[in-house]
A and B are shown apart, each in its own frame.
Chain A
């Protein structure tokens, strides 16, 4: 469905679906993980059918997320290589957050912040997957010595907490920058949006 023939395609249907599978898995994992992390949030287990079901489901959802994340990672990896202007963008990010983006360098499809998030998420998913396997008592924990399981538990909690913060920032950025969320809902952005926020990408796709 084309809303404005001049709009620019940012994500195709398959990329969007891929992102939403990962996103839904993340929400389920964050809620079930937090339920088992802090006693105050244990009642969240009710969303998953109780404590036992939360314990059973969480790791399987994690495996699904990892599979779809890996696909997404290799899809977008080449677009997330940090360049000089990206570091310049990161240095000036505070100005933009304060409401002045006039001095921000021109960005390609992704800005320096998005690219750093991409690489952090790649690392976090790797650590969470490996540590998650190690602390998955029903199937895998007995293959590992107790010291490794303990380190796995700490790393799993620490990376999950930082990742939840990172995703809050990721979602907020999409809400804050008006006209962004539609890119992940139906794939297109306006030309003005692209020129404002990702000028190099705008030039590349429009030839202007």
Chain B
């Protein structure tokens, strides 16, 4: 949703600088996976605040309900049963949703000016009124987050409650979390909080505990405390080292100016060739030869 009160850091399909005189605080949501009990209160709060109601689906044999994110479910709890010799059976529950990348792949891929906005506070938001429904954001996202609505063909995802944050409130999921697993504040504060928790977890024997704030996408504004930070993929396929795919970088980077220069060179090359070399006309000689041949026929 558009909120003019928020300052803009990046705007999709826009080649000029966004307004950046004002500096706002970078925010972050910290999800402490080790404190999560999988109650889904966050999912409910998200639906309620954003006026979303997903279709009632079917059970896929896990607690994941719905089984995937949709245009109506912007966050989904994912339950992974992981066995290791050291810890035995572990239930690793992760609240999945948009990571609000510092360098968002969706925004890079989006061809519609202003359909994706990254605010100065770090929130990446879709503006559906500018969305053309091409799905390039899905192609660009390293976390498989955006979902295209089957009804209106617009892309939807977690807004990090940009409307609430703009007026000084925390996101709805943070508000309701009963175990304090989700925190919200300045990115700096959240990193400090994470550090304290990681130290605690290490003391309790999770020697690989750590913060998930992947550098490959410039860091994220949704971060996880993972008790197995060495293997993020244990948590229902959280990417170990997410980056914007090289194919996407090529497509949306170097290819654009190169193609434009090539097309312009071809068009201008033609014009100047015509002006400097002149047209390729039939020679008088050949015309005379053909005349003679026709005369001879008669």
Query: Known: A51-B112, A141-B138, A150-B245. Is A175-B274 also a contact (CB below 8 A)?
Result: yes
The proximity string for B residues 129-159 relative to A, scoring 1 for CB distances below 8 Å and 0 otherwise, is 0101111101100001000100001000000
Q: Chain B: how many interface residues by the 8 Å CB criterion? A: 48
- Cβ-defined contact, A165 with B270, below 8 A: no
B:262-298 near A, CB below 8 Å: 262-263, 266-267, 270, 273-274, 277-283, 286-287, 289-290, 293-294
- Cβ-defined contact, B132 with A178, below 8 A: no
Q: Does B14 contact A (CB under 8 A)?
A: yes
- Cβ-defined contact, B138 with A37, below 8 A: no
Q: Does A90 contact B (CB under 8 A)?
A: no
- Cβ-defined contact, A153 with B282, below 8 A: no
Complex contacts, A165 vs chain B, CB 8 Å: 262-263, 266
Complex contacts, A127 vs chain B, CB 8 Å: none
Query: Known: A39-B14, A150-B248. Is A137-B135 also a contact (CB below 8 A)?
Result: yes
- Cβ-defined contact, B289 with A195, below 8 A: yes
Q: How far is the CB of A46 from chain B (nearest CB, A)?
A: 13
Query: Known: A42-B111, A168-B266. Is A138-B133 also a contact (CB below 8 A)?
Result: yes
- Tell me the dominant secondary structure on chain B's binding face: helix
Q: How far is the CB of B103 from chain A (nearest CB, A)?
A: 16
Q: Chain A: how many interface residues by the 8 Å CB criterion? A: 54
A:129-155 near B, CB below 8 Å: 135, 137-138, 141, 146-147, 149-151, 153-154
Query: Known: A6-B294, A137-B134, A154-B251. Is A38-B256 also a contact (CB below 8 A)?
Result: yes
Q: Does B161 contact A (CB under 8 A)?
A: no
A162→B263 CA distance, assembly (Å): 8
Q: How far is the CB of B140 from chain A (nearest CB, A)?
A: 8
- Cβ-defined contact, B139 with A153, below 8 A: yes
Q: Does A158 contact B (CB under 8 A)?
A: yes
